[in-house]
């Protein structure tokens, strides 16, 4: 007799990724698409995103292990290493994997110029106001142009220029960065003796909100997985309103029912106190599975075809919900914690975070179910 598995599962929808990529494609016209797949494809698995994004023009990852897995699973198109190299050996590995390097700091530039083996495709990141990585013109444009010229001398074709928006999801917060980039671009072209330089500016928010920033390559991330890049996710900015569908669904089942009287409390810290006689459903999921412990009472959960509220603190392995107004739900009732019925962004907003974090924090103990062709 085989033991019954714990009912929680994360379903990964390959065809949802294809749909979202097509949605982005329609928005960006002739621009090419780096499908951003860092953090193990935002928690969806590199092997799965290779299938889901097979019509993208390139894949953007963070580390060499992700690039290696992508190549092993048949990805033959460009791969962008979006945080660059941390050693000369990394550069040699990028060359071996036919990956594109990003140079984001002076230390990386010096490493590139001194290394024996370097990739032949490079993007250089400019810091236009995000103030994390990238080169600014604060020390003068001549040293910046001179550094780029030295890098270009080692390449088969000149490096492209990229930047990252801090506020592409706000109405006006992007303008200063956009204008600074386009102030620098023609000056660098002139100093380098180039008629044009490939540019890449747009993240997911800019794909939808800033067509003027699409440039030669866009770099969507969260949108490809069915989440909104906008913090103010009104109807037009919610994932569904953008034409996106969720690429993951976290599900479980009700495993117990507690009948409590008015005044009784539920869970650690006795946070939830019943105002009436209540039916409390116990769900096989918790923060050790990646569901946020910060979820407050009232956070929506979908149980047997109806939305019900969390009632009591999320614990390591269990979540409790109020089923008093849903008498049809009993032990064994199906549960969706996020996915089609409860958008991941709604859960994230209730918990004071963003869908990106929830996607990437589902833990390895949750079984993955990979499906295709069900959309």
What's the pLDDT at 236?
72
Please confirm, yes or no, whether 38 is among the known catalytic residues. yes
What's the pLDDT at 173?
86
Q: Are residues 286 and 349 in the same domain?
A: yes
Please confirm, yes or no, whether 291 is among the known catalytic residues. no
Pairing of strands 122-125, 100-103: parallel
Q: Are residues 65 and 176 in the same domain?
A: yes
What's the pLDDT at 235?
60
Q: Are residues 283 and 342 in the same domain?
A: yes
Q: Are residues 157 and 80 in the same domain?
A: yes
The Cα 175–Cα 172 span in angstroms is 6
Reported residue count of the chain is 375
Q: Which of 125, 225, 261, 268 is catalytic?
A: 268
Residue 237 placed within a domain? no
CATH classification of the domain holding 31 = 3.20.20.10
Query: Does residue 76 contact residue 54 with C-beta atoms inside 8 Å?
Result: no
Pairing of strands 58-61, 79-81: parallel
Q: Which domain holds residue 260?
A: 248-371
Q: Are residues 81 and 216 in the same domain?
A: yes
> Helix or strand or coil: residue 303?
strand
| Domain-ending residue, one of 165, 200, 229 | 229
Q: Are residues 219 and 299 in the same domain?
A: no
| Domain-ending residue, one of 229, 264, 279 | 229
The Cα 349–Cα 28 span in angstroms is 28
The Cα 329–Cα 324 span in angstroms is 9
The Cα 364–Cα 252 span in angstroms is 15
What's the pLDDT at 373?
85
Query: Does residue 210 contact residue 202 with C-beta atoms inside 8 Å?
Result: yes
Q: Are residues 27 and 152 in the same domain?
A: yes
| Domain-ending residue, one of 229, 256, 278 | 229
Residue 239 placed within a domain? no
What's the pLDDT at 375?
63
Question: What string of pLDDT tens digits covers the 375 residues of the chain?
Answer: 455 689 999 999 999 999 999 999 999 999 999 999 999 999 999 999 999 999 999 999 999 999 999 999 999 999 999 999 999 999 999 999 999 999 999 999 999 999 999 999 999 999 999 999 999 988 789 999 999 999 999 999 999 999 999 999 887 889 999 999 999 999 999 999 999 999 999 999 999 999 999 999 999 999 999 999 998 766 678 999 999 999 999 999 999 999 999 999 999 999 999 999 999 999 999 999 999 999 999 999 999 999 999 999 999 999 999 999 999 999 999 999 999 999 999 999 999 999 999 999 999 999 999 999 876
Q: Are residues 265 and 301 in the same domain?
A: yes
What's the pLDDT at 4?
60
The Cα 221–Cα 25 span in angstroms is 13
- Count CB atoms within 10 A of the CB of residue 32: 17
- Count CB atoms within 10 A of the CB of residue 334: 14
- Count CB atoms within 10 A of the CB of residue 351: 18
Q: Which of 38, 225, 287, 291 is catalytic?
A: 38
Q: Are residues 160 and 28 in the same domain?
A: yes
Query: Does residue 330 contact residue 303 with C-beta atoms inside 8 Å?
Result: no
Sign of CA dihedral 48, 50, 56, 58: positive
Query: 125 is written with which tokens?
Result: 């990141």
Q: Are residues 285 and 185 in the same domain?
A: no
Q: Are residues 163 and 272 in the same domain?
A: no
Residue 236 placed within a domain? no
Q: Are residues 180 and 280 in the same domain?
A: no
What's the pLDDT at 86?
96
Model pTM score: 0.95
Query: 281 is written with which tokens?
Result: 């459903």
What's the pLDDT at 118?
97
Work out how many domains the chain is built from and give that number. 2
């Amino acid at each position: 007799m085989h033991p019954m598995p714990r009912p929680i599962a994360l379903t990964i929808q390959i065809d949802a990724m294809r749909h979202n990529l097509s949605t982005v494609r329609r928005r960006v016209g002739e621009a090419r698409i780096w499908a951003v797949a860092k953090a193990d494809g935002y928690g969806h698995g590199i092997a799965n995103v290779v299938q889901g994004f097979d019509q993208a023009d390139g894949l953007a990852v963070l580390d060499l292990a992700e690039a290696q897995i992508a190549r092993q699973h048949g990805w033959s198109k460009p791969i962008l290493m979006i945080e660059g190299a941390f050693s000369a050996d990394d550069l040699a590995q990028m060359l071996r994997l036919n990956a594109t390097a990003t140079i984001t700091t002076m230390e990386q530039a010096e490493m590139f110029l001194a290394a024996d083996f370097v990739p032949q495709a490079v993007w250089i990141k400019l810091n236009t106001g995000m103030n994390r990585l990238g080169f600014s013109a604060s020390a003068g444009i001549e040293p910046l142009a001179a550094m780029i010229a030295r890098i270009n001398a080692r390449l088969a074709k000149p490096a492209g220029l990229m930047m990252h928006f801090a506020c592409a999801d706000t109405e006006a917060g992007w303008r200063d960065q956009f204008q600074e980039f386009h102030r620098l671009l023609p000056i660098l072209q002139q100093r380098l003796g180039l008629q044009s330089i490939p540019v890449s500016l747009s993240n997911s928010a800019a794909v939808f909100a800033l067509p003027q920033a699409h440039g030669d390559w866009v770099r969507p991330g969260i949108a490809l997985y069915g989440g909104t890049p906008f913090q103010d996710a009104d109807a037009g900015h919610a994932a569904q309103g953008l034409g996106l569908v969720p690429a993951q669904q976290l599900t479980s089942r009700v495993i117990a029912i507690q009948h409590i009287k008015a005044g009784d409390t539920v869970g650690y810290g006795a946070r939830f106190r019943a105002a009436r006689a209540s039916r409390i459903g116990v769900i096989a999921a918790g923060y050790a599975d990646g569901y946020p412990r910060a979820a407050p009472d009232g956070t929506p959960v979908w149980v047997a075809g109806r939305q019900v509220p969390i009632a009591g603190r999320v614990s390591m392995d269990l979540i409790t919900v109020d089923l008093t107004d849903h008498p049809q739900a009993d032990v064994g009732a199906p549960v969706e914690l996020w996915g089609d019925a409860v958008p991941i962004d709604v859960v994230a907003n209730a918990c004071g975070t963003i869908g990106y974090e929830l996607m990437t924090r589902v833990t390895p103990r949750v079984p993955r179910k990979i499906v295709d062709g069900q959309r």
